[in-house]
Amino acid sequence: MLRIAVLVSGGGTNLQAIIDGIAAGTITNTQIAAVISNKKDAFALERARRAGIPGIYMSPREYDTKEAFTKALLAQLEELDVGLIVLAGCLMLIPPEVVERYRYQIINIHPSLIPSFCGKGFYGLKVHEEALKRGVKVTGATCHFVDEGTDTGPIIYQKAVEVEPDDTPEILQRRVMEQAEWIIMPKAIDDIANHRLQVIEGTVHYK
């Protein structure tokens, strides 16, 4: 059974897709050990509570130094005994020591087709504003392993989504969530939990 920690910062719709996937049996061999949020009022914590999943507030702001926060986060993850860390709408920077300790055991969902519209400053609605400004006809979402960079780790899955003529950033964001994010993140978790993929020389291979 793969134990996972889901790290969140906001509404938690990607967390909800994981909760629902486990309940529906489309994500197998997986248990959410805890949801960790760097925002005390994140609705994602309410979603965890409703699902009977432990919710933990942890923010670098509560610690005197980055090192103290890193130590506390590593201790919390060790205590949870997780095999996978899932960044689901998580806006917190993951300390390099955590990336190193959990190499190829941290995944993220990004609301564009990496390498487009990603990197520093590209998160949430901003990603869709830039896609509309550029006039792309197709966008989508990417699930990838997390490394020391921003949105630079090995790509696991991507799913394309059509941009419609009257799209606003909000409408496009919702479509990308519904038609891409909420599909590829659960699929990646199920594949990892059932040992269907591995990283060889920085590239994801499927068994």
Q: Which residues are catalytic?
A: 110
Comparison of 82 and 176: residue with beta carbon closer to ligand GRF: 176
- One residue of 6, 19, 77, 88 binding ligand GRF per CB under 6 A: 88
Give the 3-state secondary structure of the chain: CEEEEEEECCCCHHHHHHHHHHHHCCCCCEEEEEEEECCCCCHHHHHHHHCCCCEEECCHHHCCCHHHHHHHHHHHHHHHCCCEEEECCCCCCCCHHHHHHCCCCEEEEECCCCCCCCCCCCCCHHHHHHHHHHCCCEEEEEEEECCCCCCCCCEEEEEEEECCCCCCHHHHHHHHHHHHHHHHHHHHHHHHHCCCEEEECCEEEEC
Residue 14 in contact with ligand GRF, rule: CB under 6 A? yes
Q: Which of 12, 95, 154, 186 binds ligand GRF (CB under 6 A)?
A: 12
User: How far apart, in whole angstroms, are the C-alpha atoms of residue 20 and residue 71?
Assistant: 32
The residues in 158-197 that bind ligand GRF, with binding defined as CB under 6 A, are 173, 177, 181
Q: Is 60 in the site for ligand GRF (CB under 6 A)?
A: no
Binding segment (CB under 6 A) for ligand GRF, from list 9-17, 27-35, 130-138, 199-207 = 9-17
33 φ, ψ to 5°?
A: -75, -35
Among the residue ranges 5-13, 49-57, 61-69, 156-164, the one whose residues contact ligand GRF (CB under 6 A): 5-13
Applying the rule CB under 6 A, the residues between 27 and 46 that interact with ligand GRF are 44
Least distance (Å) from ligand GRF to the CB of residue 124?
A: 5
For ligand GRF, the closer CB: 115 or 196: 115
List the beta bridge partners of residue 143. 109, 157
Question: What mask, x for binding ligand GRF by CB under 6 A, covers residues 111 to 140?
Answer: x------------x----------------
Whether residue 122 contacts residue 112, with contact meaning beta carbons closer than 8 Å, is answered with yes
Using CB under 6 A, count the residues that bind ligand GRF.
16
Q: Work out whether 109 is an interface residue with ligand GRF (CB under 6 A).
A: yes
In terms of CB distance, is 147 or 181 closer to ligand GRF? 181
Residues in the chain, overall count:
207
Binding site for ligand GRF (CB under 6 A): 8, 10-15, 44, 88-89, 109, 111, 124, 173, 177, 181
